[in-house]
Amino acid sequence: MRIFLFMLLLISSIDLYSQISQGGEPLWPDSKKAKSVYQIPQKDIIKAIRSDFSDEEQIYGKKPLRVGVNHDMDISPKNAGEWITLPNGMELWRVEFFSDDAFGLSLEFDEFKLSKEAIIFLYSPDRKYILGGFNHLTNKQSGKLSTAFIPGEELILEMQVMPGEGYGDMNIGSITHAYVDIFGTSQKDGYFGNSGDCEIDINCPSGNDWQIVKNAVCRIIFKRNGVYTEICTGSLVNNTLQDETPYIYTANHCISRALEAGNAVFYFGLESEECDGVDPFQNSVWNYTISSSELLATSDSLDFSLLLLSEDVPDTYNPYYAGWSISDLPPENSVTIHHPQGDVKKISRDFDPALIEYQTISPPSWLSRGSIPGAFWRIEEWEEGTTEGGSSGAPLFNHQKYIVGNLTGGDASCYKSVNDYFSKFYFNWNYYPDPDMQLKYWLDSLKIGVISLNGMKPGSMLYMYQYLLQNPGYTKILQYIEKAGYTKILSEDGFYTFFALTDTSIEKLPEWYLNLLDFGPDYFAVEFIENYLVSGKYVYTDLLEEPVLSSFNDNNLTFSSYDDLHLNDSMLVVNDEMTLSNGIVFPIDILHISADKNYNNWNIYPNPNNGEFFIYTDETVLENLTIKLYNRMGKMVGEKYFSDTNTTLFNFSDLPSGIYIAEIQLGNNINYMKVIIVK
């Protein structure tokens, strides 16, 4: 479980409209009116809005949504604002921003490196809406910070500094003026209800089967080229480590540069609680935002981007890390969950298989320019809902609830919901070999090679392989799992029980057997793993009632209960069962070596050798002794037979240098030892 630094302070009579807060509240006295008010020139805003509506970059077909314009500034305590000192010695700095006809204002700090002695709040004049406090725990690696919107035409910034201390570095580089009705007179999110009448709330019956998966989807607000502010949709995605790394999957035409990724703000949980319900603005989920991300991988010809959020997603946000599939088979039916027109979360459904080709005749011109042919799914028609501006980057899910693509754009609207195009996850995976142009490098860092991965909730079950990987004490068993070729099987869905020998237990095995596992042919590791792997899920109480289980290689695992539960009399089954996505793991401690196994004191001398060596033992009579030598590929390369001696010279000098396994058979007993030939 990743560790979160998160604390949300609820203050009576004050609504905290905030990103991840470190607590506290504004302290500027109400009786002291601000003297420093920065008014944004309206001519600059009007010019930018006019340019926005005529901008050729608003390519028809793709579906981001522009909502605001940005105005460059250079504001800091060094050149603006005013300071006061409270009776307790704390120093406060404040500056107020005003922009006529703005539906909301947000700030971007191009310098944000606060000291431990400083904290910042952003709020409306009536303190109805508060962002913060932001302190040194909010500092980003980039040294920058973008904020969510404060509704209305005015925004106040207040910084509190402990007596006699410095605040660090802080400078405001730009302010965003929202010209879309983000917060109207009704004090609701202006996006609420803006989407088309055919759109379906995620909490309507159409979304009943998607109540867990929906929590992967987020709304993204970001600044384009430092001039415009736009909205897209993205989703959290799982990775084979299953460690809750906050990866966001979206479209390249939304976020394609580090600057956009760095200033983006991600909104989670934006949905009406009921079907066709009220605006969630008054609900605490409206506070669920995270500022800033890092661009890890992107491709314009495939139209995808993978981002890494600057902070872990708190459990209170109820996140879900969506599963995915890299299959190129068309999904039997499809679903997308998105924020059309920036509205609350909606669901659209297509009951028919997705199409591989762009269109029946030819691809649309806006998509075909520079795109990889065949790299997009086409939804011929949505049976329920549609997509709109703001939906770009939304995940496309198949019937197994795996992500198989993200929205590039199309002709679909409530008027005629046809021809939407989604970049294929299959092509995004590793079409390009460079890590910064593919998903595989990031989402399969274990190099397991799975073609699909289930989604997961925080703290939910891992797969067996990932669990063993993340817990100390299983280094050797992991080595044997990989050698046996069971990595993929134990990383996928299934119903297994695995009795996992810990490192301390494996150390108790005879040296010859360890040599066999470490240096012998792979089939010895296969036999070892299969001997402790059982089909089906058995908890500890089941083992008390099931005296015998059959392993993968048909060996009987016999359980007997004394004060503790024992396996084959020689091993202790630790009552510390771990229930995982694909089964149950029990730690195993070897108490002693079973008496029914013959571990005679065999020795090879010298070892290493030049191909000639002696084998001797404490047996008094060696009769019908046979030795077979196998190379590391498991092929027998030599065989000799001797009798009636207790010290036998063997000559394999015709073999090349290398590591071999000697199979020594004496009567009904077979032993294995490592032989090293050096010439």
Backbone φ and ψ of 514, nearest 5°: -65, -40
What average pLDDT does this structure show over 361-367?
69
Q: What is the CA radius of gyration of the chain?
A: 32
Cβ atoms 542, 565 nearer than 8 A: no
Backbone angles phi, psi at 611, to 5 degrees: 115, -15
State the CB neighbour count (10 A cutoff) for residue 561: 12
Instruction: In whole angstroms, give the CA distance from residue 452 to residue 332.
Output: 16
Helix, strand, or coil here: 483?
A: helix
Q: Is the pLDDT of residue 113 over 50?
A: yes
Per-residue pLDDT, averaged over 450-463, amounts to 85
What pLDDT, on a 0 to 100 scale, did the predictor assign at position 450?
A: 82
* pTM value surpassing 0.85: no
Say how far apart CA 358 and CA 303 lie, in whole Å: 14
**Residues 505, 477: contact at Cβ < 8 Å?**
no
CA-to-CA dists, residue 273 to 59, 280, 285, 286, 337, angstroms: 34, 7, 10, 12, 15
The pLDDT value recorded for residue 365 is 73
- Return the H-helix or E-strand segment holding 114: strand 104-114
Three-class SS of residue 317? helix
So what's the pLDDT on residue 7?
Answer: 24
What integer pLDDT is reported at residue 39 of this predicted model? Answer: 85
Q: Are strands 556-561 and 565-567 parallel, antiparallel or unpaired?
A: antiparallel
What would the two tokens of residue 527 be? 């036999």
pLDDT for res 562: 67
pLDDT of residue 498: 95
Q: Phi and psi (nearest 5°) for 209?
A: -85, 5
Alpha-carbon distance 659 to 672, whole Å?
Answer: 13
The pLDDT confidence band at residue 47, using thresholds 50, 70 and 90, is low
CA–CA distance, 250 with 197 (Å, rounded to integer): 25
pLDDT per residue as tens digits for the range 493-526 = 888 999 999 998 998 887 777 877 888 778 788 9
Report the candidate in 87, 85, 143, 147 with the shortest Cα–Cα distance to residue 122. Answer: 147
**What band does 111 get if pLDDT is binned at 50, 70 and 90?**
very high
Q: Distance between CA 580 and CA 463 in Å, rounded?
A: 6
- pLDDT score, position 128: 83
pLDDT of 3 higher than 60: no
Which sign does the torsion angle of CA 185, 191, 195, 197 carry?
negative
Estimate the share of the chain in helix, then strand, then coil, as percent rounded to the nearest 5: 15, 35, 50
Neighbouring CB atoms inside 10 A of 559's CB total 20
Instruction: Count the neighbouring beta carbons within 10 Å of the beta carbon of residue 547.
Output: 12
Neighbours of 542 (CB within 10 A): 15
Q: Give 520's strand partners.
A: none
Lowest mean pLDDT among 23-27, 92-96, 285-289, 504-508: 285-289
The CATH number of the structural domain formed by 464-590 is 2.30.180.10
State the fold for domain 603-677.
Answer: Immunoglobulin-like (2.60.40)
- Show me where the domains of the chain are located: 15-178, 464-590, 603-677
* Residue whose tokens read 């088309």: 196
Residues sharing a CB contact under 8 Å with residue 257, sequence separation 6 or more, in sequence order = 295
Q: Mean pLDDT, to the nearest integer, of 37-58?
A: 64
Confidence band, pLDDT 50/70/90 cuts, at residue 15: very low
pLDDT digit string, tens, across residues 233-251: 999 999 988 889 999 999 9
Contacts (Cβ under 8 Å, ≥6 apart) of 104: 68, 149, 150, 151, 152, 178, 182, 183, 190
Closest CA to 386 of 423, 341, 439: 341
Q: Kind of pairing, strands 104-114 and 118-123?
A: unpaired
Q: What integer best gives the mean pLDDT of the chain?
A: 83
